């Protein structure tokens, strides 16, 4: 019987070891199975699409203050709705409604519920009346009276102004969720003062109490007067920022990006009766600014 070489394991032992190893490998392969294919990723839900802005609304309601009522545009101490930038019928103004709807539709498909002298706190009530008509578009221009107070300390606080505007939009949405909203910025009252202050007649009229926080002592350029006017200016800037931010949260609201605030009204574009409110020409400019924004493809 042949002797095995010293140090070499018997062949049978080696065979058993190989067999055990093969079984172990086979068992491991059987447990793990074929490699898994990566799961197809579940597609995330598409964001809710924003409704398309309609550049051709078929009806229009206007809310706001004396500017939208066209106060002093064609008479002394009186509203002149036919020359309103928003809903007027005067072809020389060519109002936003006239441009969008045509002259024949003005009587039946426009509603001007703005009120001269109103402030932002009154806007929710106006918006409720406007919403009752389910208008395709609502125009908003208000805030000058919130800054035009007897004293700067009486100006509407920004937080209150913001809250009233937000409430107005909620009021509209509750009654007319599909109405679009165009929001005009509050005009730059300091620029209006600068435009009219050199005319002796305007200074005499302003002494009657028109926007005293800005126009009072129109010829006074001292430090205290300038500080007062700057405070009014900053408050209007803050109002416009509030309009921008609240409007941005509503998918059917467009702010004018400060276009009215930035516009430099000329003397001819201010009322000849108070050198403060827009004249017929000024109303036409407001209509042009609004039409450009409402019909923009963005």
Average pLDDT, the chain: 88
Q: Report whether 240 contacts 215 (CB < 8 A).
A: no
| 12 domain residue, yes or no | no
The whole-number average pLDDT for the span 35-60 is 66
List beta partners, residue 64: 141
| 13 domain residue, yes or no | no
Q: What does R_g of the chain's alpha carbons equal in angstroms?
A: 35
pLDDT surpasses 50 at 1? no
The DSSP output letter for 270 is B
Percent of the chain with pLDDT over 90: 81
Q: Which pLDDT score is estimated for 298?
A: 79
The whole-number average pLDDT for the span 33-37 is 44
From start to end of the chain, where are the E strands?
Answer: 60-64, 110-112, 137-141, 180-183, 253-255
Q: How far apart are alpha carbons 292 and 287 in whole angstroms?
A: 9
pLDDT-derived band of residue 44, with 50, 70 and 90 as boundaries? low
Q: Which pLDDT score is estimated for 48?
A: 54
Q: Which pLDDT score is estimated for 198?
A: 85
Q: pLDDT (tens digit, 9 = 90+) per residue, 226-270?
A: 999 999 999 999 999 999 999 999 999 999 999 999 999 999 999
List, in order, residues 6 or more apart from 99 with CB less than 8 Å away. 287, 291
The DSSP output letter for 177 is T
pLDDT surpasses 90 at 14? no
pLDDT surpasses 60 at 201? yes
Q: What is the CATH number for 112?
A: 3.40.50.1110
66, two tokens: 């004396």
| 253 domain residue, yes or no | yes
Q: Which pLDDT score is estimated for 250?
A: 97
Q: Report whether 259 contacts 291 (CB < 8 A).
A: no
If one counts the domains in the chain, the total is 1
- Structural domain that includes position 270: 60-294
| 42 domain residue, yes or no | no
Q: How far apart are alpha carbons 145 and 208 in whole angstroms?
A: 16
| 288 domain residue, yes or no | yes
The whole-number average pLDDT for the span 260-289 is 97
| 51 domain residue, yes or no | no
Query: How many Cβ atoms from other residues are within 10 Å of residue 159's Cβ?
Result: 10
- Residue entry with tokens 């490699």: 35
| 219 domain residue, yes or no | yes
| 206 domain residue, yes or no | yes
């Amino acid at each position: 019987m042949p002797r095995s070489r010293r140090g070499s394991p018997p062949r049978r032992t080696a065979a058993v070891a190989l067999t055990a190893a093969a079984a172990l490998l086979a068992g491991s392969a059987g447990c793990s199975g074929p490699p898994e294919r990566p799961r197809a990723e579940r597609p995330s839900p598409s964001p809710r699409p924003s409704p398309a802005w309609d550049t051709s609304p078929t009806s229009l309601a206007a809310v706001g203050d004396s500017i939208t009522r066209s106060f002093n545009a064609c008479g002394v101490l009186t509203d002149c709705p036919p020359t309103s930038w928003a809903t007027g019928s005067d072809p020389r103004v060519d109002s936003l409604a006239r441009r969008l709807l045509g002259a024949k539709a003005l009587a039946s498909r426009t509603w001007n519920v703005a009120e001269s002298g109103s402030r932002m706190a009154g806007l929710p009530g106006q918006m409720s009346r406007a919403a009752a008509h389910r208008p395709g578009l609502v125009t908003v221009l208000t805030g000058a009276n919130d800054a035009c107070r007897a004293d700067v300390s009486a100006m509407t606080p920004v937080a209150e102004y913001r809250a009233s505007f937000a409430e107005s939009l909620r009021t509209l949405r509750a009654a007319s969720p599909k109405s679009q909203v165009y929001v005009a910025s509050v005009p730059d009252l300091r620029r209006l003062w600068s435009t009219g202050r050199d005319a002796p007649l305007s200074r005499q009229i302003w002494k009657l109490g028109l926007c005293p926080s800005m126009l009072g002592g129109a010829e006074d350029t001292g430090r205290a007067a300038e500080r007062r006017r700057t405070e009014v200016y900053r408050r209007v800037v803050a109002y416009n920022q509030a309009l921008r931010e609240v409007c941005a949260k509503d998918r059917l609201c467009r702010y004018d990006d400060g276009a009215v605030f930035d516009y430099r009204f000329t003397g001819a574009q201010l009322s000849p009766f108070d050198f403060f409110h827009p004249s017929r020409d000024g109303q036409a400019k407001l209509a042009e600014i609004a039409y450009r924004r409402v019909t923009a493809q963005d």
